[in-house]
Each structure stands twice: as C-alpha cells, then as structure tokens.
C-alpha cells in the first residue's frame, strides 16, 4: 500500500505543477481590459466604465441610462458573484444596483480583498470596479478560440448553450459542442464566421452580427498572440443586439517583446509577490504548498527533485529552476525569495553542474547568506563542473550547511530537517 500512496503523491504533485506552469504561460487581463481590447477589433461589447475611487464611481454611474447599473469587482479570479470581502464580509462581487447607490457599493469593494473558490483564503485585492449597462439576455451561447494540436492551428469551439461550464455542457451532451478548425495561413473567412454563428444557434440579423464579432475575436486571437479567447456567454439580448458579455483571454508570455502595450496592462497586485520578484531576474519560480524549498538547475532535475521529496515523505514549497545562465546576482535573488517564504521549513539546493558551474552557485549562496542571514536548515548537493571548487567555497564560508553528494540522502535530509 505504501508504494501506491507515494506514487499517488508524486502524481498529485506533478499534476499541481503542470497546472501551475500552464497557468503562468500567459498573461491574464481584467474583464474591463479585455472588453476594451475587443472593442478595438470591432467586437460588440456592452457599455462599460471603470472607477478607481468612490468619488469616481459616483460620477461614472450617472452616465449610464436607466435607474440601475451593474457593478463588478475586478479581480483575476472566477466566482466573483459568489465571493465575499474579507475585511467587511460583504457578500458578492457582482451586483445590480440603483445608480444612487454606486458610492455605497464601491466603498464596500474598493481597497478590500475578495475571496472566491478560485482565490483560496488569501483572496485577491480589488483596486478597480467596473460599471456596465444593465440588459436582459434572451439566449446565451458559448464561443472560444484556441490552438489545436490535432488540426495544427486555431480551432473555434461553440455551443448553443452558454452561461455555464463548457465541461458540464460537453459531459451532458457531447453533440452540443461545435468545432471548426481554421487554416492559420489563410485566416478566417466571412463564410466560416457566419457558418459558426448559425451552428451556435443565431439566425437572421443576429447571425450576421455574431459573425462580425467572431471575425473580430479571431483577429484578436491571432494579432495579439493569444493562447485562448473564451466568451461565455455570447448573448443575444431582448433588444436584438448580440454582444460579448463576459470573457477570459490569455496572452502568450513568449510574445511579450512584440505585444508590449498589452503586457504593460499586467496587474502585478493580482500575482504572487514572490513570483513577481523572480520574474525580474528571469527565474523560473512557481510557489507551491509544501515546506521544502528547492533551488535546482534544469526543469528535468527540478521535477525529479520534487518527486524524490514526495517519495521521502516531504512536500516541495516551490518549483525553482535557476537555468544555465544564472550568475551570482540571480542566485542571491533566488535564495532571498525561497528563504523569505514563511511556509518554508528547510531549503534544498540541488545542482548538477554543466553549463551552470557549481562554484557560481556556491558563491551566490554564500553571498545571499551573508546579506540576509540563514534562518532555515540548508541542504546542498553539488555535482559536476567545478564541484570541488564549489564545495570548498561552501566549506570555507563556515556556514552551517548539510553538504551531501548522494541525491537520495540529500533529499531525505531536507525532508527530515523540515519536520
């Protein structure tokens, strides 16, 4: 039974890491930012405006027609409508309100922390609220564009049913999902966008309107280097309009060099501070939930290290690959980040010197400890290029370090001292 439990722990750890890595491959924008971008590409969206302060909220609400307006907290997490604010326990991040109540609701949201099922107990800070026109939805559809390995290019996915999880729709009725691959070299045609709109259940003038927005969404996907564009719901309103009501958009971080205007919109307050700091030094760092911090060179060795920690009965506190181009400065930064994590109980540095020399790692670790001190047990394993020099640097430093050459023994020691 024990091997099964351990194997399950490793599988779970890999699954969690895979999800974390995938989540960090792309930039995410706030709802209001995505809708503004869509509008620039000719996509039909509701009338919106944002407020950063209570006084702004009061004035902005007056500019909407009718007696009521929708106010939505802007945090990068799902489940906002069912969330609550930590500081005042105010329920719900989305409300339909009377316009003269705008300041009252903005006061309860701005500067507070919204907790949803997706944020965990830490929550996400609300620094902006979005106002949107109130409208009545006649029908809800689902639409998305993503890259498809099978067809070797973009694929449009749609359904006549929207407003709920696409996974639930697919499970209940797989035939309800419509898929249409697009030749990435030729791009989308008017006939394809109209065909997709009709297969999603639009007809007449509404089909033409939906097709126009679909073409605009495809342009966003291609020209803005998106990893995904998801619209749910893509709605027909009682007044005859067809609009994008809510959206989830991911932008490929690898394209940041040519999408600077979009990536400048990144809201760092919504991200883990340690990951933000790591990005400044081009460190591949992902915070996890364990207690043993890892500093490793190479993603393969990092994954093996995490697996071995799990097999030894421990749990990794992070994924940290310093890469082959790291120097004393980046190693020092990496050490500061992992030691500054309050969840960390021990630190395991595991280096196989190839491109990254062991002496460079040793210099960085000694410099970091001299600068910030050593407050947690440190296990160091150095093997490979300049290993003897690296070991000498560690030994001469006089640091209270557990220097162990055997991989399994080092991992076990890191787990033991974390308990």
Which residue numbers are catalytic?
A: 142, 230
CA distances from 87 to 53, 81, 114, 186, 377 (A): 17, 17, 9, 52, 36
Strand-pair category, 68-73 with 129-132: antiparallel
Q: Is 290 helix (H, G, I), strand (E, B) or coil?
A: coil
**Cβ–Cβ < 8 Å for 194, 208:** yes
Angle made by CA atoms 404, 406, 411, in degrees to the nearest 5: 75
Strand partners, 287: 318
Assess whether the previous peptide bond of 286 is cis (omega < 30° from 0): no
First-residue to last-residue Cα distance in the chain: 23
Buried b (16+ CB within 10 A) or exposed e, 92-110: bbebebebeebbebbebbb
**Cβ–Cβ < 8 Å for 295, 322:** yes
Using CA atoms, how far apart are residues 142 and 374, in angstroms rounded to an integer? 53
Cβ count near 240 (within 10 Å): 11
Using CA atoms, how far apart are residues 200 and 205, in angstroms rounded to an integer? 14
Q: Which helix (H) or strand (E) holds 382?
A: strand 378-384
Angle made by CA atoms 227, 232, 233, in degrees to the nearest 5: 150
Using CA atoms, how far apart are residues 112 and 118, in angstroms rounded to an integer? 17
Largest alpha-carbon pair distance within the chain? 80
């Amino acid at each position: 039974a024990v091997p099964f439990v351990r194997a399950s722990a490793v599988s779970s750890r890999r699954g969690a890491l895979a999800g974390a890595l995938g989540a960090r491959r792309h930039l995410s924008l706030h709802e209001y930012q995505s809708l503004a971008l869509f509008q620039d590409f000719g996509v039909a969206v509701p009338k919106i405006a944002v407020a950063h302060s209570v006084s702004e909220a009061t004035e902005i609400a007056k500019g909407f027609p009718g007696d009521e307006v929708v106010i939505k907290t802007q945090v990068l997490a799902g489940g906002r409508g069912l969330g609550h604010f930590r500081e005042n326990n105010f329920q719900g991040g989305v409300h339909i309100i009377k316009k003269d109540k705008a300041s009252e609701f903005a006061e309860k949201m701005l500067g507070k922390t919204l907790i949803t099922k997706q944020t965990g107990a830490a929550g996400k800070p609300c620094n902006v609220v979005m106002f949107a026109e109130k409208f009545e939805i006649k029908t809800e559809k689902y639409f998305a564009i993503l890259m498809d390995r099978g067809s070797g290019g973009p694929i449009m996915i749609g359904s006549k049913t929207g407003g709920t999880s696409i996974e639930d729709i697919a499970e209940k009725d797989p035939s309800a999902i419509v898929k249409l691959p697009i030749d990435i070299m030729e791009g989308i045609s008017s006939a394809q966008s109209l065909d997709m709109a009709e297969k999603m259940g639009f007809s007449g003038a509404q089909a033409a309107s939906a097709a126009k927005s679909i073409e605009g969404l495809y342009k966003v996907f291609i020209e803005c280097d998106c990893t995904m564009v998801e619209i749910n719901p893509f709605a027909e309103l009682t007044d005859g309009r067809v609009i994008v009501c809510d959206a989830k958009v991911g932008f490929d971080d690898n394209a940041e060099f040519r999408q600077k205007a979009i990536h400048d919109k990144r809201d760092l307050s919504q991200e883990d501070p340690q990951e933000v700091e790591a990005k400044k030094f081009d460190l591949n760092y992902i915070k996890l939930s364990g207690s043993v911090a890892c500093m490793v060179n190479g993603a393969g060795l990092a994954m093996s290290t995490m697996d071995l920690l799990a097999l030894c009965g421990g749990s990794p506190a992070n994924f940290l690959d310093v890469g082959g181009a790291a120097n004393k400065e980046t190693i020092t930064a990496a050490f500061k980040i992992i030691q500054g994590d309050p969840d960390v109980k021990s630190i395991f540095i595991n280096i196989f010197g190839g491109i990254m020399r062991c002496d460079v790692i040793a210099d960085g670790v000694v410099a970091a400890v001299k600068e910030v001190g050593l407050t947690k047990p440190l296990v160091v394993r150095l093997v490979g290029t300049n290993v003897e020099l690296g070991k000498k640097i560690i030994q001469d430093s006089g640091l209270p370090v557990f220097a162990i050459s055997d991989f399994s023994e080092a991992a076990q020691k890191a787990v033991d001292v974390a308990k």
